[in-house]
Amino acid sequence: MLSSPIDEIKNKLNIVEVVGSYIKLTKAGINHRALCPFHSEKKPSFFVSPTRQIWHCFGCGKGGDIFGFVKEIEGVEFGDALRILAQKAGVELKRESPKLRTERQRLYEICELTTLFFEKQLESKTGQEVKKYLINRGINQDSIVKWRLGWSPDSWQGLIDFLVSKGYQKQELVKAGLAIRNEKGSYYDRFRARIMFPVFNLSSQVVGFGGRIFKSEDTAKYMNTPATLLYDKSRILYGLDKSRVEIRKKDFCILAEGYIDVILGHQTGFENMVATSGTALTPFQLKILKRYSENLFTAFDMDVAGDTATKRGIDLAQAQGFNIKIVILPEGKDPADVISENPKEFKKFIENAKAILDFYFENAFSKADAKTPEGKKEISKVLLPVIKRIPNKIEQSFWVQKLARELGVKEEIVDQELKKIKTEKESLGLEPEEMEKVPVKSRKELLEEGLIVCALRSKSLLDSVNEKDFEFLSSQACQIISCLREKKEIPSELSDIFDYLALKADIDKEEDEEDIEEEWLNCLKEIKSLVIKEKLDKISQDIKTAELDKDSEKSKKLIEEFSNLAKQLNEEEKS
């Protein structure tokens, strides 16, 4: 019998490798752990089980298999997660399957065909000129191929005609951000006569494009794909798909502004470089970067005094706890300029990068006279908000002392002024907490989970379960315990909850050495007490109803039942 593509993918891929390609995992006994990428936390509560091929966060409650993880982290539907993982596993999916050809999938196909189209145009007469220009900028042939650079011809409908011939509708091309519909209802190519830079998502799929003018100077230098179902520039960092392993390995990320900066950086060994592609750093980009490293080296102009978008992005990174260093380049030069002239020189600039607070201090004191009242005011105006954003109070105290010393004022005065500074999260553009609330479980559900975890940690406990005990448990708990006792396979409808509890048992085995038998007995005892109390409450209500109905016989029976249960509860609580 042939296995399904899902089973084939699961057999070929290891969940540790899949999850580890997105976030930094550390070994924890037989499992792996990490800070959860789906909510903010300081202590790792996200676990991956290679034995069970599942993941679970005990902080936000999310969990599942490799498909569930890719769906969550890529923000895609199941069909797209299936395709992403099939590509990783080398499993061929039948393209004609209607379930897989979602709107999103068709857009991916359009972007891929468009990239091939632009790549092919480099073979044209003008395309050869473009290639020569790129090589003169320092980009070699290998990089042109690696980054899939191309050329959009100076034609109003060249791309549209090509994609329509492949079976796609013009309206789909508008949705992909590649065509524009004018007021008269005609369609034309968005990108014309531009050097094309495909933009990739974390799975190295093309989701959008950046187009740079070539020769003409009467239009915008760069044009980007507008927001689409696949592309949102505030959520994508150019080159991160090719940089993330190196960022994790070197434990820092070099942040540049342009496509060519990143391409030349990678070409000369700085493979931990990414670009913001014309946007200020956003909360979404920072959240993604934090999966790989909390150390950022910025290699673009920094205006300390101005309220620029760049500065707001850096302020945001600082507020989120990133360690930031500023790479100070020669005035008027960007990383591409420095790298193309002398890669070794760029390496020196990286090595000499200044910690952001040192950079701010030097910059602020160089632009104002610290001996005059006006100068002191100007300097503090720049530096106090920066100091206020430092999350660690000990580090913050160090910079308060330094500022007081260098301004020649008392530390208490700096502290007083610091208290006046407000750094509301909303003013920095911080996104609201996205962590979903963990579904609230009843006390009985939690106790039953504890009971099963104990049984998984010590199978001998299962022998002590008798038929009367089953009367107090839910059907789900009874089924799992029965299967464990009889060494039967867990029913498929209970496999998810069982895998979660088995992972919890593995973790507890490593971290918790208290008396399992005592814990088991306590759980069972409390479950029984809860069930009996619920029954007593119900009987109590029934007694009131019977008395109101003047049904003395029923009332007498219920009182007797209540008395017996009360005795049973008393015995349970004494035992």
Strand 150-152 and strand 194-200: the pairing is antiparallel
Residue 96: what pLDDT? 46
What residue spans define the domains of the chain?
Answer: 5-89, 103-231, 234-438, 443-574
CATH number of 103-231: 3.90.980.10
Both tokens assigned to 468? 């009367």
Instruction: DSSP for 407-422, please give it.
Output: HTS-HHHHHHHHHH--
- Residues 313 and 291: their CA atoms lie apart, in Å, by 18
Strand 194-200 and strand 206-213: the pairing is antiparallel
Residue 21: what pLDDT? 87
- Count of CB atoms within 10 A of residue 12's CB? 13
CATH of 5-89 given 3.30.1370.140, 2.40.50.140, 3.40.50.2300, 3.90.580.10: 3.90.580.10
Using one digit for the tens of pLDDT, what is the confidence trace for 351-402? 999 998 998 898 889 888 889 999 999 999 889 988 888 878 888 899 999 9
Residue 432: what pLDDT? 41
Residue 42: what pLDDT? 78
Exposure letters 401-418 (e unless 16+ CB within 10 A, then b): ebbbeebeeeeeebeebb
Exposure letters 217-227 (e unless 16+ CB within 10 A, then b): eeeeeebbbee
Residue 170: what pLDDT? 94
Using one digit for the tens of pLDDT, what is the confidence trace for 289-329? 888 888 999 988 665 544 466 777 888 888 888 899 999 98
Whether 234-438 and 103-231 are alike in CATH topology: the answer is no
Contact present, 85 and 153 (Cβ < 8 Å): no
* pLDDT-flagged residues of the chain (< 70): 1-3, 94-101, 217-218, 278-279, 301-309, 423-439, 509-514, 574-575
Any idea which residue has 């999916």 for tokens?
93
Residue 470: what pLDDT? 85
CATH architecture of residue range(s) 234-438 = 3-Layer(aba) Sandwich (3.40)
Q: Which residues, at least 6 apart from 570, have a Cβ–Cβ distance to it below 8 Å? A: none
